[in-house]
Structure 1
Amino acid sequence: MSTPTGFMEFKRQLPGDRSPAERIKDWEEFHKHMSEEELRTQGARCMDCGTPYCHTGIDMTGGTSGCPVHNLIPEWNNLIYRGLWREALDRLHKTNNFPEFTGRICPAPCEGSCTVGLIGQPVTIKTIEEAIIEKGFEEGWVVPEPPEKRTGRRVAVVGSGPAGLAAAAQLNKAGHLVTVYERADRVGGLLTYGIPNMKLDKSVVERRVKLLEAEGITFITNTEIGKDIPAQQLVDDYDAVVLCGGATKPREFNIEGSDLKGVEYAMPFLNGTIKSYLDSNLEDGQYLSAEGKDVIVIGGGDTGSDCVATALRHGCSSVTQFGTHAKAPLERDPIQNPWPQFPNVYTLDYAHQEAKAVFGNDPREFSIMTTKFVGDENGNLKELHTIQIERIVDETGRKIYQPIPGTERVFPAQLALIAIGFDGPEQTLVQQLGLETDRRTNVKAKYGKFVTNNEKVFAAGDMRRGQSLVVWAINEGREAAREVDKFLMGATVLA
């Protein structure tokens, strides 16, 4: 333990952020950094619990409690308190291949289940995690570590998102020859095309990819398996195949007027902006612009929030985010939302802070449902019609949303972005290989085994579990790699 009374002596502290009004003028990361002394103090708040829930990584009532990659959090908190940064980095890398990603974009379920949070504010775990890996890069401790011996076995990984990169890294560590196929022009999957630059600078992704290349992993971009290369050819050419293509099929939103010009899905909007920014600093104009438009984002999750932040940087006239969920309470409900569940409390994330700085208020509308889109005489979107809703339990015991009569409203809009989630993976590759799927069309592969109905084909990440967190994708990539290693070698050297 760092100090037995640290959680009583020191208050929780977070790094400051750049001013919302200033940061919307660029696409740079918005978090500032803490000093080593400040981080040491935050590490001192860790209690080194006898049963630390921070690294349990379990699903509880539809959410995640603790760290899915089982980071050794109390250990590296103590090491930071003692000034042993190199040792802290070694402990961090034992469980997490990419702490520079999770330290930036993970919602930190570890902090939600921190024992100190029972009586006060949790330990600043996520900030310490990012600081450890960045210190490692600054000091030159993070270097390529190619395997000493090669097994001669060849593995193909389809998809270069967090699950694919984690699987590739682990399989390469075991000595296998790994080739990663990515249909986009850059490696990274949703880490590159999906998460805006201000949350995760793409140089951070490129830095890790170059390390993986130096360790012996081959990346092939602009190649879609099932289209450019038949899926069965991959199975024939490699000793094993790991599918990590994500859950990229958008959930359809078919209501009156959804075919109007100006009604778009969120991911093409985000992807186009990111690609144009990376290609030309947005000078090529090859993206859907929100400039000068009233923007409505339908969907209350992180993707919707990223759309809000992106629209602000485009220069929108207004932006509003719709969510079907009710406004969260200011404090955790001890009955409905007890520790160690992730706390469902009202917060303003980075995008909402920015919208409030520009327009003066939280951009979200809660418990609201769009009933129709209305266009002008040229087929362009001009407004959305909505109604407030309430969640009830029907006669069968199901929880459903019921419209509240008399709460109809009209919102002006020239751009509506649909961000209501995904309906599983695209099916071309799945059908070509004849893979079994579950009721949600995800590839059927039992957690812990990850093998499909084809013994040479494994699946991990969102393609197997459905839309989820980046940290769960890393967990699944690592776990799947271990099962592939067992399949290829009869035993595994992977932790």
Structure 2
Amino acid sequence: MGKITGFKEYKRQDENYTPVKERVTHYKEFTIPLDEPELIKQGSRCMDCGIPFCHSGCPLGNLIPDFNHMVHQGEWKKASWILHSTNNFPEFTGRLCPAPCEKACVLGIIEDPISIENIEKNIVERAFKEGWIKPQPPKTRTEKTVAVVGSGPAGLAAAQQLNRAGHTVTVFERDDAIGGLLRYGIPNFKMEKGIIDRRLAILKAEGINFKTNVNVGVNYDVKKLKDFDAVVLCGGATVRRSLPTPGIDADGVVQAMDFLTQQTKAIFGQKIKNQILATDKNVIVIGGGDTGSDCVGTSNRQGAKSVINFEIMPKPPKHRSPSTPWPFWPLQLKTSSSHEEGVERNWLINTKEFIKDKNGKLTALKTINVEWKMIPGQRPQLIEIEGTEKIWPCELALLALGFNGPESTISEQLGIETDARSNYKATKYQTNIPNVFVAGDMRRGQSLIVWAISEGREAAREVDLFLMGKTNLPTKGDGDLLKA
């Protein structure tokens, strides 16, 4: 694959960013693409490694050496076909996926791994530009109808696969626009929403029906789902974590997703009453994951006075930890583009109190430093370090703590069994109700976009098999027999 000596001749090159001072003045994407000759070189770095561990690292089983080789040869159209054969939405993963495939890359043992994610993004962008991505409605229709609840990546993937199998698919979304967290949970500067809309136009042209402002179990009676031959639940894990901390009810303590959603809606002209803004405020983001990083980037764009990030876990090592050797996902410090735009990062720190004034408004946070005591055979114990209390001025605290699991509205009304973590139980994506299936975060818990697409595809295969007794839909790692 690639050029036999390519990995020796060429070093990894990633996209550059526009300068910080420029990009924090807007909410558009700010990457500077590599030119075609450089991208071909990057594809040429792919080794003839014998066993491509990138396949096992990718939840979709993407045929990575194959499309890298096509890029190396300048065969961009073939690269697009190979990429789409396993991934319905590479324009999403090419921007937002943390790229577990790259962490499993064999070259990564001795060198910087292949820039798989960036190659993927450039393949799909070239495909859209050249007009290679066209609607492919099914040649014939079955008489089966399927409801997909939730329009995030799992729901959209399931819908496209089932539609291409010939079923009549209707997608229900409770928000005012299609996309789930891709629409309102991901800041525009990481993925502009036109990226969703152009793919949505393809899905509509293929014959998928979309219904927005439909909250199944709330303003849409779950009994109506009986009108469908099968149902796929893809509502995500949306129950947000909070903190059992005094003062949590202070005016100024806000869930990160509310903050991010409001900003995205405001960009597109929606009037937000009492919008949560970081402007001229001391902002503290609690939580060190991707959502926390998104809050940092958004706060800086809104003109925060200061931005500080708290993480209760230890600071990860700069390089791969010996505890997570190749090809496993590494314990390693991640510095995002938002971090580079300005933030003070703090690890091993716990919030003890949200301090508010007589009017209930947040004025400060009280914290204490902590350490983790490791006891063999037991859960790690959080130990507070005496004498390390500190008061931090703060008018806006953003809780970026992740999600506990899916909401119980539908499971309770339909009688679907759940596990100890409130995830919807399923065997081969099928719940205890035979014609009701579940995929994505609703089934597996909070996870990655690439896992959501994989789950949607796999669930669609099981639904098709249930409805028809046989299926031509692919399983993980197989080329899509229906030619995505």
TM-score > 0.5 by shorter chain: yes
Measured after TM superposition, the shift of residue 342 of structure 1 is: 2.0
- Counterpart secondary structure, 2:17: coil
| Paired position in structure 2 for 1:300 | 288
Work out whether 1:138 is the aligned partner of 2:129: yes
The answer to whether the aligner puts 1:108 opposite 2:99 as a matched pair is yes
The CA distance in 1 between the partners of 2:164 and 2:19, in whole Å, is 42
Could you list the structure 1 runs, at least 4 aligned residues long, displaced by more than 6 angstroms after superposition: none
Q: Work out the CA distance in 1 between the residues paired with 2:268 and 2:463.
A: 35
Deviations 1:310-358 (CA, angstroms, capped at 9, x unpaired)? 111111101111111211212223x312101123222320110111xxx
Partner residue in 2 for 1:492? 471
Deviation for aligned residue 1:89: 0.4
Paired residue for 2:371? 390
Contact 1:12 1:42 survives alignment (8 Å): yes
Q: Determine the structure 1 residue equivalent to 2:7.
A: 7
Give the secondary structure class of the aligned counterpart of 1:429.
Answer: helix
Q: State how far apart, in whole Å, the 2-side matches of 1:286 and 1:457 are.
A: 40
2:430 alignment partner, SS class: coil
The one-letter amino acid paired with 1:112 is K
Structure 1: segments with no counterpart, 5+ residues: 57-65, 356-361
1:85 aligns with 2:76: yes
Distance (whole Å) between structure 2 residues aligned to residue 171 and residue 162 of structure 1: 14
- Give the structure 2 partner of residue 483 of structure 1: 462
- Deviation of the 1:287 alpha carbon: 2.4
Aligned to 1:260: 250
Instruction: Answer whether contact 2:105 2:327 (CA < 8 A) is retained.
Output: yes
The 8 Å contact of residues 323 and 331 in structure 2, kept in 1 or not, is answered as no
In the other structure, the counterpart of 1:287 is 275
Q: Report SS of the residue matched to 1:279.
A: coil
Alignment partners' CA distance in 1, 2:223 and 2:444: 23
**In structure 1, the residue corresponding to 2:291 is in which secondary structure?**
helix
Q: What corresponds to 1:330 in structure 2?
A: 318
* Residue identity opposite 2:470 in structure 1: A
1:341 counterpart residue number: 328
Give CA-to-partner distance per residue, 1:440-479, whole Å, 9 cap, x none: 1011113xx1000100100000111111000000000000
Q: Secondary structure at the match of 1:416?
A: strand
In 2, are the aligned partners of 1:232 and 1:432 still within 8 Å (CA)? no
The answer to whether the 8 A contact 1:97-1:166 is kept is yes
Match in the other structure for 2:48 = 48
- In the alignment, is the contact (CA less than 8 A) between 1:178 and 1:217 conserved in 2? yes
Q: CA deviation at 1:286?
A: 5.6
**After alignment, is 284-293 or 204-213 more displaced?**
284-293
Cα contact 2:7–2:45 (8 A) shared by 1: yes
Cα deviation 1:237-270 (Å, max 9, x = unaligned): 0000000000001112121000111111111111
Counterpart of 1:31? 31
Output aligned runs, 1:83-482, within 5 Å.
83-234=74-225, 236-280=226-270, 287-333=275-321, 335-355=322-342, 362-394=343-375, 397-446=378-427, 449-482=428-461
TM-score of the superposed pair, with normalisation by structure 1? 0.94
Equivalent position SS for 1:104:
helix
Q: Deviations over 1:367-397 (max 9, x none)?
A: 1110111111211111101111111124752
Q: Tell me the amino acid that sits aligned with residue 27 of structure 2.
A: W
1:69 corresponding residue in structure 2:
60
2:168 and 2:96 map into 1 onto residues whose CA distance is 30
**Counterpart Cα distance in 1 of 2:122 and 2:129:** 10
Q: Give, in whole Å, the separation in 1 of the partners of 2:103 and 2:328.
A: 7
Per-residue deviation, residues 418-461 of structure 1 (Å, max 9, x unmatched) = 11111111111111001100101011113xx1000100100000
Aligned partners of 1:69 and 1:279: how far apart in 2? 36
Deviation at 1:19?
1.1
Task: Supply the distance in 2 between the matched residues of 1:105 and 1:315 (Cα, whole angstroms).
Answer: 25
**Counterparts of 2:185 and 2:327, CA distance in 1:** 30
CA distance in 1, matches of 2:293, 2:275: 18
Normalised by the length of structure 2, the TM-score is 0.96
| 2: CA distance, partners of 1:395 / 1:386 | 28
Q: How far apart in 1 are the matches of 2:272 and 2:182?
A: 22
CA contact (8 A) 1:276 1:286 kept: no
**Contact map agreement 1:272 1:286 (CA 8 A) in 2:** no
Query: Which moves more between the two structures, 108-117 or 399-408?
Result: 399-408
Q: Distance in 2 between matches of 1:486 and 1:264?
A: 44
What displacement does 1:108 show?
Answer: 0.6
In structure 2, C-alpha distance between the alignment counterparts of 1:103 and 1:395, rounded to whole Å: 40
Cα distance in 2 for partners of 1:88, 1:451 equals 34
Deviations 1:152-202 (A, max 9, x none): 100000000000000000000100000000010100000001000000100
- Inter-CA distance 275–286: structure 2 relative to 1 (3 Å threshold): farther
2: CA distance, partners of 1:242 / 1:184: 18
Per-residue deviation, residues 29-86 of structure 1 (Å, max 9, x unmatched): 0211111100000011100321111111xxxxxxxxx111111000010110001001
CA contact (8 A) 2:262 2:272 kept: no
Identity of aligned residues (%): 52
Tell me the equivalent position of 1:359. none
Name the SS of the counterpart of 2:404 in structure 1. coil
Q: Distance in 1 between matches of 2:204 and 2:464?
A: 20
**Aligned partners of 2:387 and 2:96: how far apart in 1?**
40
Moved more, 196-205 or 344-353: 344-353
Paired amino acid for 1:24: V
- After superposition, the C-alpha distances for 1:78-104 in whole angstroms (9 at most, x for unaligned) are 110001001000000110000000000
Amino acid paired to 1:293: K
Equivalenced residue count is 474
